[in-house]
């Protein structure tokens, strides 16, 4: 993807540029070729800087370059103070039914259901509406420390239309309780021994949907939304796990009951033990708001100076502190990147003064202003699903 093909300066893609857009989809292949050069797979380092390898990571650790249409994860050792915004070509990619290529000239976003005005927007209609931009980072609800080292994570600047503007224009009727967001991607699901077609979809109660930070995003880091991230329009629900951010958005439907499709009712559902009144019960919940989480992803060395770097994600509640503990030492405050904002990821770093030679364990924890402290993994509730892994993540490494 060459930059001048994808970014059109201010106003993203016009319908008249359809031919050019077709070309950029194919140009993705060329980008893949560039991406396979070894420099891409290895973390960017400043002159004289070297990474200190983690001993919990295989020595030959690498990941394949991003492939058009495929899934992708970030080498989190790439996260440094110069990569506050994740490069669009390296932002993680997850989808469950493959990537639909929507026809931009016939693209329509339909607003249906319990509304006063059923509306249809073309891409040009959406581009002509007032736009705002926001930094937001998110991770997949299935992100995990092992194997991919938290790689299903990224942070970007998003630009688009306020969701509440669209919902207000449609006029939600009093019986409207739940807003369902459908993607243009459809898969076959076996439900009760019957195969049915279902589009990827997620839903929100009206109050959550009306938050003024929610966006129909048309741009990502100053470029038209890339194909893999939902071209031409995706939902962005800041502070929620990635699954809420419906890509290739084609329909918004208002209904009077909760939506129970696969990604709300069966998948991306956490099963955990909770207190319900005075009973301990196994409770299922849809993956929604990002739990308070920090993770160390990088230790670098410049001559004799060592730096520990990591990221924090949460639901947007302001933070009190991020702390790092080395071996059995005290918790020490890390510094939070001043570019952080409410819904961006918060990068943190801490100098590591005179680490002794030998094996070390380092771990971080974040605390928000309400006094919530990131728990250790053993303090997390007993859980039977792979979603929502936010306990403290100790990392090990050897200083030579
Ligand atoms: N239409 C559609 N939107 C989707 C998905 C999908 O399968 N189809 N996957 C979701 C999941 S599970 C995640 S983690 C994020 C990933 O967004 P990204 O690929 O832009 O990083 O997209 C979400 N939006
Ligand atoms: Mo996800």
The lowest-confidence range among 34-48, 50-64, 296-310, 385-399 is 34-48
Q: What is the largest CA-CA distance in the chain?
A: 69
Burial of 189 (0-12, 13-18, 19+ CB in 10 A): middle
Write down the pTM of the prediction.
0.90
pLDDT at 21: 32
Residues 88-96: what's their mean pLDDT? 97
> For 322-342, how does the pLDDT look when each residue is reduced to its tens digit (9 = 90+)?
999 999 999 999 999 999 999
- Count the neighbouring beta carbons within 10 Å of the beta carbon of residue 58: 10
Q: Residue 394's closest CA among 149, 204, 181, 171?
A: 149
pLDDT at 59: 86
345 CA → ligand 1 middle, Å: 18
- Does 17 score more than 60 pLDDT? no
- As a whole number of angstroms, the distance between CA 194 and CA 75 comes to 40
Q: Does residue 100's CB lie within 6 angstroms of at least one atom of ligand 1? A: no
Q: Does residue 231's CB lie within 6 angstroms of at least one atom of ligand 1? A: no
pLDDT at 24: 32
Q: Which domains does the chain have, with CATH numbers?
A: 293-399 (2.60.40.650)
Determine phi and psi for 305, rounding to 5 degrees: -100, 125
- Does 6 score more than 60 pLDDT? no
CB 279 within 8 A of CB 177: no
Mutate to test the pocket of ligand 1, among 224, 243, 244 (most ligand atoms within 8 A of CB): 243
> For 187-234, how does the pLDDT look when each residue is reduced to its tens digit (9 = 90+)?
999 999 999 999 999 999 999 999 999 999 999 999 999 999 999 999
**Which residue carries 């004289």 as its tokens?**
48
Q: Write the CB contacts of 179 (distance below 8 Å, at least 6 apart in sequence).
A: 167, 172, 203, 204, 205, 206, 209, 252, 253, 254
118 CA → ligand 2 middle, Å: 30
> For 111-161, how does the pLDDT look when each residue is reduced to its tens digit (9 = 90+)?
999 999 999 999 999 999 999 999 999 999 999 998 899 999 999 999 999
- Does 346 score more than 50 pLDDT? yes
- Does 295 score more than 60 pLDDT? yes
Residues 158-185: what's their mean pLDDT? 98
Q: Write the CB contacts of 250 (distance below 8 Å, at least 6 apart in sequence).
A: 102, 107, 108, 109, 110, 182, 183, 184, 199
> For 31-75, how does the pLDDT look when each residue is reduced to its tens digit (9 = 90+)?
333 334 444 455 678 888 999 999 999 988 888 889 999 999 999
287 CA → ligand 1 middle, Å: 13
- As a whole number of angstroms, the distance between CA 44 and CA 189 comes to 41
- As a whole number of angstroms, the distance between CA 51 and CA 19 comes to 43
- Does 28 score more than 70 pLDDT? no
pLDDT at 45: 81
- Does 316 score more than 90 pLDDT? yes
Quick one: CA dihedral 7, 64, 242, 99, positive or negative? positive
- Does 4 score more than 70 pLDDT? no
CB 311 within 8 A of CB 137: yes
- Does 395 score more than 90 pLDDT? yes
């Amino acid at each position: 993807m060459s930059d001048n093909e994808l970014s059109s300066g201010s106003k993203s893609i016009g319908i008249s540029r359809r031919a050019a857009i077709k070309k950029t989809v194919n140009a993705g292949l060329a980008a893949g070729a560039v991406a396979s050069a070894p420099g891409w797979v290895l973390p960017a380092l400043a002159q004289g800087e070297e990474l200190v390898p983690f001993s919990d990571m295989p020595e030959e650790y690498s990941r394949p370059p991003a492939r058009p249409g495929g899934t992708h994860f970030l080498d989190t050792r790439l996260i440094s103070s110069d990569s506050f915004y994740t490069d669009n070509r390296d932002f993680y990619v997850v989808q469950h039914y493959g990537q639909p290529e929507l026809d931009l000239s016939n693209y329509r976003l339909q607003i249906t259901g319990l509304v006063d005005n059923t509306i249809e927007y073309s891409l040009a209609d959406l581009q002509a509406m007032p736009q705002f931009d926001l930094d937001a980072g998110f991770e997949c609800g299935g992100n995990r420390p092992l194997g991919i080292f938290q790689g299903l994570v990224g942070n970007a600047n998003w630009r688009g239309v306020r969701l509440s503007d669209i919902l207000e224009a449609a006029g939600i009727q009093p019986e409207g309780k739940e807003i369902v967001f459908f993607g243009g991607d459809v898969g076959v699901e076996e439900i009760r021994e019957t195969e049915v077609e279902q589009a990827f979809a997620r839903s929100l109660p009206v109050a959550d949907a009306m938050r003024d930070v929610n966006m129909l995003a048309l741009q990502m880091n100053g470029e038209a939304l890339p194909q893999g991230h939902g071209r031409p329009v995706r939902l962005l629900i800041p502070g929620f796990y990635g699954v809420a951010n419906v890509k290739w958005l084609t329909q918004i439907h208002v209904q009077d009951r909760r939506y129970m499709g696969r990604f709300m009712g069966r998948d991306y559902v956490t099963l955990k033990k909770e207190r319900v009144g005075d009973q301990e019960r196994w409770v299922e919940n849809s993956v929604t708001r990002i739990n308070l989480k920090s993770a160390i992803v990088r230790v670098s060395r410049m001559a004799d100076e060592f730096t520990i770097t990591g990221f924090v994600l949460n639901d947007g509640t302001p933070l009190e502190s991020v702390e790092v503990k080395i071996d059995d030492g005290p918790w020490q405050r890390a510094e939070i990147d001043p570019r952080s904002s409410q819904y961006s990821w918060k990068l943190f770093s801490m100098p590591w003064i005179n680490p002794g030679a030998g094996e070390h364990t380092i771990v971080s924890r974040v605390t928000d202003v309400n006094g919530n402290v990131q728990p250790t993994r053993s303090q997390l509730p007993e859980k039977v699903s792979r979603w929502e892994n936010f306990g403290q993540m100790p990392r090990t490494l050897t200083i030579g």
